[in-house]
Amino acid sequence: MKTLRQDLADIYLHKLRELFPEVKPSLNYKTDFQFLTAVMLSAQSTDKQVNKITKDFFNKFPTAESIAKASLSEIKQQLKSLGLYNTKSINLKKTAEIIYKKHNGKVPKDRQLLEALPGVGRKTANVVLSTLYNDNSGIAVDTHIARLARLLALTNHTSRLKIEQDLLKLIPENQRFGFSLRLIFYGRKYCKANHFAMHNPNHYHCPLTVELRIYLQKKRIALIGFSFNKDKYGNKIAKDLIRFGFNNLFLVNPKGGRYGNRLVYKDIKDILINSEIDIFLFVVKPEISLRIVRCLNQKKVSGHYWFQPGSLADDLVGYLNGNNLSFSSFCIMRSAGIW
């Protein structure tokens, strides 16, 4: 049985192919070494900036040998309009010398040899291996991918290595190259960083957010911590979920009663007995959430535990890891663009 994240990954892959049928790297190059150079120069710079610089740079220094034999001051002069040009110039010259002297001017196909080159980290190695050698053993996680992978509920990590490990479990090897490029293009065109700022409505209309919302609307969601008080966060979430078409919604409040035409359950046990829940959404204090998680794990209840943004994350992850407990997904509901 597929996990929630696997379902979402499949949905996103399909939608991204629809949005960007044909993709290729946006960096300009003619040789493998030029591609490595362009990727190295692209750190904290836009591809447009890099292409503008490399047009003249590659005319003057077309090979590893030409860069290896050039003076550092010459290289810096050519790259001075790029961010971090001092560091990039030093690393590029050292890398060119190694490739020229140790690898006969050819870019290594081996990951360890690539990552041993000055200025070449795992992300750069992943880009080079997938583009030049069809080696998709890794996924390049840049700023766009790190941000969107979390935003779209594919990971809850902030470490790029851990994000990559999560994505490797979800994205088939033969689709990783296209996935990386498409998600980068998607971030640039549809879902920019400021779209997810609080109260910004743009994110609600991003194509993958729409797909996520459509998927979630079909799931049975238990809202734990629902409140009748209109000023309470739980009440706002309930109102928004109903307004945006989340019809398979189960509300839990110790008072019970009704909310509009919906029954409000007094106890989480009531919905566990009567319904198969896909997602548990907690909007209660951390210590209460921890007790609920313990209860669910003791009863071996299947489902996906989702939590509101804020202080719950560290406490819950720490508790689950410390007790060797696991759950299908740890996500932030705000990903759906509702609140």
Catalytic positions: 123, 142
Strand ranges inside 232-285, DSSP E = 249-252, 258-259, 262-265, 279-282
Measure the CA–CA gap between 311 and 284, rounded to whole angstroms: 11
Q: Which residues contact 300 (CB under 8 A, 6 or more apart)?
A: none
Q: How far apart are CA 20 and CA 103, in angstroms?
A: 36
The count of residues in the chain is: 339
- List of residues 6+ apart from 23 with CB closer than 8 A: 178, 181, 182, 185
Spatial distance between the Cα atoms of 260 and 235, rounded to a whole number of angstroms: 12
Q: Is 39 exposed, middle or buried (0-12, 13-18, 19+ CB in 10 A)?
A: buried
* Pairing state between β 258-259 and 330-332: unpaired
What contacts 179, CB < 8 A, 6 or more positions away? 13, 16, 139, 167, 171
